[in-house]
Copies of this chain bind each other. A is one copy, B any other.
Amino acid sequence: MRDLSADAKLMSLNTATLGPKRSLEDAVEGCLRHGIGGISPWRDKIAEAGLPQAVKMIRRAGLTVTGVCRGGMFPAADADGRRLALEDNRKAIDEAAALESRCLVLVVGGLAPGSKDLGDARRQVEDGIAASLDYARSVGVSLAIEPLHPMYAADRACVNTLGQALDICDRLGTGIGVAVDVYHVWWDPELAPQIARAGRDGRLFAYHLCDWMVPTTDLLLDRGMMGDGAIDLPAIRRDMEAAGYDGFCEVEIFSAGRWWPKSIDEILGTMVARGKSCI
């Protein structure tokens, strides 16, 4: 396993970790101050800055873009909705290309509005990814399906295990892989073999970190800092690296009550310290 204790060059800051009120510029400057080597911007932050300015800012800072969050959200109630989703994904692919991102993260979407048909949602997701993939390949953007925790199956993502995501990848071919976020997959009894499978197939495009708090008080906004929760983070990174993953460790913490209220430097200082000791 790589020794990450010396510096934060292989850590990446997902902009969600700073909360919704901080700008892309805040995030970039924070990375520079704390020696963090990568960044993963959410698209609202890219839009706020403007894409050309975002590209310029990140390039000048010498940061690797480890992901753009996010494409996906494919299931829709009708053909118009599906067309809009595809257009938005094409735009997201363009942004990822402009930023030379290692991948575009796909949060695939949950049930279509008014529907309880999870099978239909899953078919729409696979169709949507298939329809986006040729374009992504043509501009050199890798698509990374992020299986989301089953508690988001209804409203955010109906791809809920790594195995399920990899089955989709198998059917779709090249240019598609997975973003492994410990928060979503740590509980899975099939986690280790599915990580190994993803590595064998060259599909490990991103690795996201935070922690699972006990108790968790909110389904969305109560993620923990690495080391504060229940997840055996070194065990998962060991599996990832044994499977060939040699990319960044991206930190994505949605924490309305605990971390977002803190100063940027306190968040990033803690993130870097934990990255050196707890993951």
A187 and chain B: residue at smallest CB distance: B153
| Contact of A100 with B by CB under 8 A | no
Binds B, one of A29-37, A47-55, A209-217: A209-217
Contacts A150-B151, A230-B154, A231-B116; A189 near B164 (Cβ below 8 A):
yes
- Is the CB–CB distance between A151 and B216 below 8 Å? yes
Bound-state CA distance A188–B150 (Å) is 8
Given contacts A230-B111, A232-B118, contact A187 B160 (CB under 8 A): yes
Residues of chain B within 8 A (CB-CB) of A151 are 149-151, 216, 219
A229 to B111, CA, bound (A): 12
User: Interface size class for chain A?
Assistant: 20 to 34
Query: A102 an interface residue at 8 Å Cβ cutoff?
Result: no
Query: What's the least CB distance linking A55 to chain B, in Å?
Result: 36
Q: Which residues of B contact A265 (CB under 8 A)?
A: none
Contact indicator B117/A232 (Cβ below 8 Å): yes
- Residues of chain A touching chain B, judged by Cβ–Cβ distance below 8 Å, are 111, 116-118, 122, 149-151, 153-155, 158, 160-161, 164, 186-189, 212, 214-217, 219, 229-232
